[in-house]
Amino acid sequence: MVAEQLLPNGVTDPRVIEVMSEVPREEFLSSRVRRHAYENRALAIDCGQTISQPLVVALMTQALAPRPEDRALEVGTGSGYQAAVLSRLVRHVITLELEPSLAEHASETLSRLGYSNVEVAVADGTFGWPAYAPYDIILVAAASPDVPPALIEQLAPDGRLVIPLGRSTDEHQDLRLYQRRGEDLISRSLFPVRFVPLR
């Protein structure tokens, strides 16, 4: 996966490469799709959701430039794989999932595999998680027409936020990186993606 998908496609951060080579993606999948764990494609999980392809996980993570002292918020836990990747690069991860069954399964998987600095909460991610705000990095793993205002409010000074923007899964969405610079929020487009919608 690392040699054939990540390195040839712009993943250059050695910490991200190391973590992607260590986190066992198959452990976050059901038995029926485990054999496809390291293929470069999104895979179906329960509740009509997906686990993102490895390259997208790596590039989103790299774009956030995670630091060991950072506090991270993830919106859209899904299987818990992205949270596991983040947890090896930052101090603490709060990950929010709207579907209770997905949250429970992800929490069990993360705990079983020893990702002890991840907290899974059942919540509407559009409101973020004010209790632990502000966050140095925020990763949204579902597409939204706009950036939810609560997430902007919960972004720390010099914080980074990555989110797919788009209205439909039938068309490519624009993955954007936002960075807080003083009172300003600057953004740039990263690449086209296709995510399930943020609910």
Residues tagged active-site: 52
1 vs 185: CA distance, rounded Å: 34
33 vs 39: CA distance, rounded Å: 11
Query: Given the structure tokens 């452990």, which residue do they identify?
Result: 27
Q: Which residues contact 159 (CB under 8 A, 6 or more apart)?
A: 134, 135, 136, 137, 138, 179, 180
Element (H, E) at 39: none
89 vs 108: CA distance, rounded Å: 20
